[in-house]
Structure 1
């Protein structure tokens, strides 16, 4: 059975971030920073809460770092490591992604 479509790259054009529902019921999110796509479970390691308060806002001002809207923690997009805030040195849970020729975003098969 093919993996379900999560989103399209164009869905990230407006904000650089997008909340998604994962097939197993967990919440996830996608961000695009400097043209590269990253995906993580939408759960801050500090208090086990979602990172977003405003819809599809996952990037700090400047668009360089992922930010938890609840606690202000900052995460590197390339590996999810918290570099500032109450969960420093902890990491977001990554999603393995693949993008098809039409810009469709899917979970990568294992």
Structure 2
């Protein structure tokens, strides 16, 4: 995970910038309430999820900021190999198939700053 970046509840403070995410990239961030989250950018679209696998409630990455499988198309749980769609967090392969990652609403402003809706 990248050095902790706090998202303030209800605030418009950016948590990251598009420049932090290459075309197919991922980073970990820490939310103001202490939860860990991940940002992924696949095919230009940014999504955010809590960094917990629905199968056994473990962090998804084995190495900091490594949330995508080798092809850069799907989010992967390093513990059991479960694969998740970056659009909505649905598990499409693995022990939790059909379950979803907890999605966090995300927006990107005109300057490329990424904001999360954190309550």
Q: Settle same-fold status: TM greater than 0.5.
A: yes
Q: TM-score, normalised by structure 2?
A: 0.85
Count of aligned pairs: 110
Q: Does 1:84 align with 2:70?
A: no
Q: Verify: 1:66 aligned to 2:84, yes or no.
A: no
> Any unmatched runs of 5+ in structure 1?
none
* 8 Å CA contact 2:23, 2:41 repeated in 1: no
Indicate conservation of the 8 Å contact 1:15/1:56, yes or no: no
CA RMSD across the alignment? 1.8
Q: Equivalents in 2 of 1:109, 1:25: separation in Å?
A: 11
SS in 1 for 2:48: strand
TM-score normalised over the length of structure 1: 0.92
1:67/1:3 CA distance change after superposition, 3 Å: same
Query: Which sections of structure 2, spanning at least 5 residues, go unmatched?
Result: 1-9
Give runs of ≥4 in structure 1 deviating > 3 Å.
none
Deviations 1:72-107 (A, max 9, x none): 000011110101111111100001011111111111
Distance (whole Å) between structure 2 residues aligned to residue 14 and residue 77 of structure 1 = 13
